[in-house]
Amino acid sequence: MEAITELRSPQTILFSADVDRSANFYRLLGFTEVFRVPTEGTPIHIDMELDGYRIGFALIDSARTDHGLNPVDEGQRATITLWTEDTRAAVASLKERGFKVLHGPHEYLGRLLIAWIIDPDEHPIQIVQNLRSRQRPDRMATESAEWAVLAAPREERT
């Protein structure tokens, strides 16, 4: 199937009960605010960016009244993944700063060290280190045959 043309710049938007609180939380993780509506007063939407990745926070009530959506407003609805060169040190630093740790560092798939923290709206955040390399992995993790199979078109999978 051919991709629809003219689509670009994908972004994740998470629904939030308090977008200012969410933006402040992600600012502590290194994100920078790049967009806010309205520019003064209580925001209904804020976009943050880190290392070329853009995430937005939309006020739950605004999503309902302005767009006719019915967002789920509790529980673990999505996750954000942040890569690091040292999961243990990152989690220790975050814990010292008052971040809630869901699960401490643990090895996964024999090649990743993963820990989980949680944001103010209960979205889990995965802190991941590639144990095989000190370099940041490509977004598609193409060095792994497992991921290459998942990325292949459905008809090419075995």
Q: Which helix (H) or strand (E) holds 130?
A: strand 124-130
Cα distance between residue 154 and residue 49, in whole Å: 32
List, in sequence order, the alpha helices (H) in the chain.
19-28, 60-67, 87-96, 145-151
Beta bridge partners of 127: 82, 115
Q: What is the pLDDT of residue 10?
A: 76
Q: What is the pLDDT of residue 45?
A: 95
Q: What is the pLDDT of residue 145?
A: 39
Q: What is the pLDDT of residue 3?
A: 60
CB neighbours of 158 closer than 8 A, spacing ≥ 6? 149
Prediction pTM value? 0.72
Beta bridge partners of 48: 33, 55
Residue 59: phi, psi to the nearest 5? -65, 130
Question: Token pair 């045959």 is at which residue?
Answer: 145
Q: What is the pLDDT along the chain (158 residues), one digit of tens a residue?
A: 666 667 677 789 999 999 999 999 999 999 999 999 999 999 999 999 999 999 999 999 999 998 888 888 787 778 899 999 999 999 999 999 999 999 999 999 889 999 999 999 889 999 999 998 754 445 434 333 343 333 344 444 34
Q: Tell me the domains of the chain and their CATH numbers.
A: 1-73 (3.30.720.120), 76-158 (3.10.180.10)
Q: What is the pLDDT of residue 99?
A: 92
